[in-house]
Structure 1
Amino acid sequence: MAAETLRSLLGRVRYEVLPAKATEEKVLAHVPRDVVVTVTASPVKGLEPTLGLTERLAAHGYRVAPHVPARLLRDDAHLKDVAERLRAAGVDDVFVPAGDADPPAGPYDAALPVLRRLSELGRPFGELGITGYPESHPLIHDDLTIQSMWDKRAHATYIVSNLCFDPRVLGDWITRIRRRDITLPVYVGVAGPVQRAKLLAMATKIGVGESTRFLTKHASWFLRFATPGGYVPERLLDRGAEVFARPSAGVAGLHLFTFNQIAETERWRRAVLDRLDT
């Protein structure tokens, strides 16, 4: 059962990438066209690098889900412009977090008002993702993050769970949100086979990007990557397979945080699938 679950999950993946200079080249070289690519946004550089990379990858035939953080939107006109630009590029899937920009660039300080406004604009995107926090958010109480998902459920179509290294915590969180009648499908957020030295180099070089910023707030997580045997993605997935396989869990697939180690992530995925097929 665990092998079947792992094979299924690895066949339904999303790769989160940061909009760095070499990202487009790496995606083209290593990511199959049937893998959804999600592009983060920087509170320092703004939305333009995200939008530009999204347009180029979409033109190459990828299904792209850009991050559009609420706090990076200057005003209602900016939101409309972003939506129109993405629709013109053929994008039908957008991930809307609150974002880290402090202070916000405009009137939106949380994701819900943006989701509501997109509904008022006629729901220009078929898919809208929101964030879930299996491990506690550094600034928001757990009850509030779950209430937030409840409030967003009428506008969003799926949840992406933030990084978590404990299958028990993931399972408990999924059970908890389902008990609250939050029925949106969940993409389980998992770090790929990250090399700590490369991760540190990426964090130092870019210094931005929601996934990198969130990780740097949790220094103990670096130890998981550094300790021999401390973190192996398939071990986490194998231990959580029983929960992930339950129909009641509503797990739609995996959201793999690549931290731009794109080639390494795809090689790992293919190697695991090959092992499962032998």
Structure 2
Amino acid sequence: MSPPLIQPPRDDAHHDVTQGYSIEITAKDVEALTAAAPLIPPRTIVAITFLPSEDAQARLDATRAVRLLGFVPMPHFSARRLTSNDDFEGFLKRLVDESGVRRCFVVAGDPPEPAGPFADTASLIATGAFERAGVRTVGLAGHPEGHPHMTGAQCLQVLEEKCAAITARGMKPVIVTQFGFDAEPFLRWIETLRARGIDAPVRLGVPGPAGIKTLMRFAARCGVGASASVLAKYGISITRLIGTAGPDRMLEALSHGLTPAHGEVQLHFYPFGGLEKTVAWIADYQARP
């Protein structure tokens, strides 16, 4: 029998998984990002979401602010919310021209029907617009705990095809996952990716410290596994939904569980409890003995 892909970690295996983290903001978070900037390492990747409640100009302004603060902007594109190819390429051109964007993130988006010609992320990639604009890295969504509209096998197949398409166009794929409360599904999922030959860097989605009810609300909205046993491992009791919780236990499990065989793995923080609070928590975590 061949040995398992991932070898069990040594008892002393440990590293700070928060090094090189990325973080997500909305266009409304620029003031909070400015306040938190002194605690954020230079050239940290900052993702700017594509919310339907924020217009293109607000996203452009936020992207420019990220660049001016010394960070690396990663604006999102929501395929089904783009009304036309001109809408897509015009927005992309302004991001590149005004903020030097070289890294983008693509998602299909929530609407059941597309507002324009793009039904999914593959159709955006296929236009060739990203490489023509000078984009070097394209982010894709990963779903370690499943997708509401695809089987696990379908998710892996689609992810494999999109990574190959991005690479064939001379760009680098990176996979950013939805957030979770448990290290084990993350580790197993990365092992599955690597076994299939998907070697793209992975950024694991981690919820920043937040009120327990807030975390539960986002988990329910995103379809994240949040059973009593999972929450207990994270440090949350469903019989006592008060107070706040941070990802301490999960990060410790990742620190001990990740091995070189998992490939390039870093964290992506979703600041559900507030951007400044999340950045301060990360700085405190990194300062611990």
TM-score computed with the length of structure 2 as normaliser: 0.80
Map 1:124-203 → 2, pairs under 5 A: 124-154=134-164, 155=166, 156-196=172-212
Shift of the 62–174 alpha-carbon distance from structure 1 to 2, 3 Å rule, reads same
Q: What are structure 2's unaligned runs of at least 5 residues?
A: 1-9, 167-171
Amino acid at match of 2:208: G
Q: Following the alignment from structure 2 to structure 1, what is the Cα–Cα distance between the partners of residues 11 and 141?
A: 26
Amino acid at match of 2:119: D
Shift of the 220–175 alpha-carbon distance from structure 1 to 2, 3 Å rule, reads closer
Q: What is the deviation of 1:139?
A: 2.0
Map 1:110-129 → 2, pairs under 5 A: 110-118=120-128, 122=132, 124-129=134-139
Q: Which residue of 2 aligns with 1:28?
A: 34
**1:16 aligned residue (20, 24, 34):** 24
- The one-character-per-residue Cα deviations of 1:112-159 (angstroms, maximum 9, x if unpaired) are 111122367536211110011000112221111111111111305210
**Contact map agreement 1:17 1:260 (CA 8 A) in 2:** no
Q: Which residue of 2 aligns with 1:206?
A: none
Q: How many residues align?
A: 261
Q: What is the deviation of 1:234?
A: 2.2
**1:61 aligned residue (49, 55, 70):** 70
Q: Which residue of 2 aligns with 1:86?
A: 95
Amino acid at match of 1:241: S
Q: Following the alignment from structure 2 to structure 1, what is the Cα–Cα distance between the partners of residues 33 and 273?
A: 9
Task: Give 3-state SS (helix, strand or coil) of 1:67's partner.
Answer: strand
Q: Following the alignment from structure 1 to structure 2, what is the Cα–Cα distance between the partners of residues 141 and 266?
A: 35
Amino acid at match of 2:252: D
- The one-character-per-residue Cα deviations of 1:229-261 (angstroms, maximum 9, x if unpaired) are 9954121121122442x2221233110111261
**Contact map agreement 1:43 1:99 (CA 8 A) in 2:** no
**Contact map agreement 1:6 1:237 (CA 8 A) in 2:** no
**Contact map agreement 1:159 1:184 (CA 8 A) in 2:** yes
**Contact map agreement 1:13 1:256 (CA 8 A) in 2:** yes
**Contact map agreement 2:96 2:133 (CA 8 A) in 1:** no
Q: Which residue of 2 aligns with 1:255?
A: 268
Task: Give 3-state SS (helix, strand or coil) of 1:10's partner.
Answer: coil
Q: Choose 119-128 or 148-157, whichever is displaced more.
A: 119-128
Amino acid at match of 2:250: L
**Contact map agreement 1:41 1:49 (CA 8 A) in 2:** no
Amino acid at match of 2:139: G
Q: Following the alignment from structure 2 to structure 1, what is the Cα–Cα distance between the partners of residues 152 and 178?
A: 13
* Percentage of pairs with the same residue: 25
Q: What is the deviation of 1:186?
A: 0.4
Task: Give 3-state SS (helix, strand or coil) of 2:148's partner.
Answer: coil
- The one-character-per-residue Cα deviations of 1:83-117 (angstroms, maximum 9, x if unpaired) are 21111111111111111133212111111111122
Q: Which residue of 1 aligns with 2:247?
A: 233
Greater Rg over alpha carbons, structure: 2
Amino acid at match of 1:183: D
Decide which structure has greater helix share.
1
- The one-character-per-residue Cα deviations of 1:198-227 (angstroms, maximum 9, x if unpaired) are 669xx8xxxxxxxx5x75244875984863
**1:104 aligned residue (105, 108, 114):** 114
**Contact map agreement 2:203 2:268 (CA 8 A) in 1:** yes
Counterpart check, 1:71 vs 2:77: no
Shift of the 82–4 alpha-carbon distance from structure 1 to 2, 3 Å rule, reads farther
Q: What are structure 1's unaligned runs of at least 5 residues?
A: 204-211
Shift of the 112–187 alpha-carbon distance from structure 1 to 2, 3 Å rule, reads same
Q: Choose 156-165 or 113-122, whichever is displaced more.
A: 113-122
Q: Choose 191-200 or 130-139, whichever is displaced more.
A: 191-200
Q: What is the deviation of 1:47?
A: 4.1
